[in-house]
């Protein structure tokens, strides 16, 4: 498959606001449920098209088809702004394109309640703390659709900067609705150059080891919340499935998980900011996350290295710091960082070792971090 030329990624900034609870938020929920239907319908269509013609239909065949569907068999979709319906098809299209470029997986069918977000390029209006969405409503007297504009209020804890490109409505597992405002704002105050570089080794015992010998421990939020999780899980198992109290316990559990995710994300952002402030060049290794998960299980998920690397990348781009990832097959653990002697006898349990060649004493992680930094500075070595 030929690689498509991708548009240069523009800088976007997302602002997240909580939509205030209100009975009419049900409309947003109904809209997301319907969008889930649209998603499943068109994904099924794509798969059938592929079975018959051995190629994918793509958005330019599906979007006209959506027009026909709304006119004939699915008139109950017409109350949602057309752009938002189109966006569902475009998402499927983009997911397939990314899949062919080897960047991601295939799109999946979703349970209704699992469809999470809707994108609005048009059909909305933003004002101080309020967002208006232009739904449509069937009018009996004139036998046509009329605009049914609805205001939703959100908690505007900060101003957004720049021109608004589009907005998104999101719902999470606890039933809270969020408003994402995406703008083209790209102003940042750059950090002062420090002239320092750092090599970072990820580990299970110590979260990060820097080549300076500094060790950063992970707070392990999931581990500390396990007891609370167990309590809620127990109370959930005592409830009658499907009852009001059961749903309450489900939401309680979801809220607890959301809290853990928020804590971890916050810590990752603070750590990444700190590293960007202190160093001009940040070098890490490419992680084999699937392999690590098989080896270590829940602990890897709790540490979530993948998310941290993504945040670190984002921060480096934002603050114009250089970020390198040393290839997976570059030897970083075994060679001695002083003389380069490859210590083949090193096992996973050896935290410290002495080089038989030059006699220098090494901490396993610090040694790896030094090797990572060296490999990143050496242009000959394969880099990602
Ligand atoms: Zn040595």
Q: What is the DSSP string of 143-178?
A: TEEEEEEEEEEEE--S---S-EEEEEEEE-TTS-EE
Domain ranges of the chain: 13-183, 197-377
* Region for residue 169 given its phi and psi (left: phi exceeds 0; alpha: psi -120 to 50; beta: otherwise): beta
- Quick one: DSSP state of residue 357? T
Which residues touch 101 (CB under 8 Å, ≥6 apart)?
A: 1, 3, 4, 6
Burial 37-49 (b: 16+ CB within 10 A, else e): bbbbbbbebbeeb
Tokens 């900067």 label which residue? Answer: 161
Q: State the CB neighbour count (10 A cutoff) for residue 16.
A: 13
Q: What residues are labeled active site?
A: 201, 285, 365
Task: Report, as an integer, the average pLDDT of 152-173.
Answer: 93
Summarised one tens digit per residue, pLDDT across range 43-71 is 999 999 989 988 888 889 899 999 999 88
Summarised one tens digit per residue, pLDDT across range 335-352 is 888 887 887 877 777 788
Q: With contact defined as beta carbons under 8 Å apart, do 326 and 376 qualify? A: yes
Q: 214 alpha carbon to ligand 1 midpoint, in Å?
A: 21
Q: 159 alpha carbon to ligand 1 midpoint, in Å?
A: 56
% of residues, the chain, pLDDT over 90: 45
* SS3 state of residue 350: coil
Task: Report, as an integer, the average pLDDT of 185-208.
Answer: 84
Give 277's Cβ-side CA count (13 Å radius).
7
Q: 145 alpha carbon to ligand 1 midpoint, in Å?
A: 78
Summarised one tens digit per residue, pLDDT across range 239-292 is 999 999 999 999 999 999 999 999 999 999 999 999 999 999 999 888 877 777
Beta pairing partners, 281: 197, 322
- Quick one: DSSP state of residue 342? B
> What are the percentages of helix, strand and coil residues in the chain, rounded to 5?
40, 20, 35
Q: 371 alpha carbon to ligand 1 midpoint, in Å?
A: 12
User: Given a cut of 90, is residue 102 above it in pLDDT?
Assistant: no
């Amino acid at each position: 498959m030929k690689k498509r030329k991708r548009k240069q990624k523009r800088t976007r900034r997302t602002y997240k606001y909580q939509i205030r609870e209100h009975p009419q938020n049900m409309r947003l929920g109904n809209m997301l449920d319907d969008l889930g239907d649209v998603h499943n319908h068109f994904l099924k269509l794509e798969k059938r098209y592929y079975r018959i013609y051995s190629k994918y239909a793509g958005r330019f065949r599906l979007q006209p088809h959506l027009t026909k569907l709304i006119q004939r068999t699915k008139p109950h979709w017409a109350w949602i702004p057309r752009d938002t319906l189109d966006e569902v098809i475009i998402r499927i299209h983009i997911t397939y394109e990314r899949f062919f470029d080897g960047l991601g997986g295939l799109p999946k069918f979703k349970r209704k309640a699992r469809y999470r977000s809707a994108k609005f390029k048009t059909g909305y209006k933003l004002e101080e703390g309020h967002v208006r969405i232009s739904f449509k409503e069937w009018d009996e007297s004139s036998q046509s659709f009329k605009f049914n504009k609805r205001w939703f209020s959100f908690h505007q804890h900060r101003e957004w900067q720049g021109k608004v490109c589009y907005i998104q409505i999101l719902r999470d597992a606890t039933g809270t609705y969020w408003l994402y405002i995406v703008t083209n704002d790209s102003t940042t105050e750059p950090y002062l150059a420090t002239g320092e570089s750092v090599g970072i080794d990820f580990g299970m015992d110590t979260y990060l080891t820097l080549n300076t010998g500094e060790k950063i421990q992970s707070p392990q939020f999931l581990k500390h919340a396990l007891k609370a999780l167990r309590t809620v899980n127990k109370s959930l198992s005592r409830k009658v499935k499907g009852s009001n109290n059961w749903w309450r316990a489900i939401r309680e559990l979801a809220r607890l998980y959301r809290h853990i995710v928020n804590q971890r994300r916050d810590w990752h952002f603070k750590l990444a900011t700190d590293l960007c402030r202190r160093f001009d060049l940040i070098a890490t290794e490419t992680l084999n996350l699937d392999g690590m998960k098989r080896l270590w299980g829940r602990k890897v998920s709790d540490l979530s290295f993948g998310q941290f690397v993504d945040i670190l990348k984002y921060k480096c781009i934002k603050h114009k710091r250089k970020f390198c990832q040393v290839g997976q097959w570059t030897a970083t653990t075994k060679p001695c960082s002083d003389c380069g002697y490859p210590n083949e006898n090193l096992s996973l349990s050896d935290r410290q070792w002495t080089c038989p060649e030059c006699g220098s004493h090494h901490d396993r992680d610090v040694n790896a971090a030094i090797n990572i930094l060296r490999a990143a500075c050496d242009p000959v070595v394969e880099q990602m």
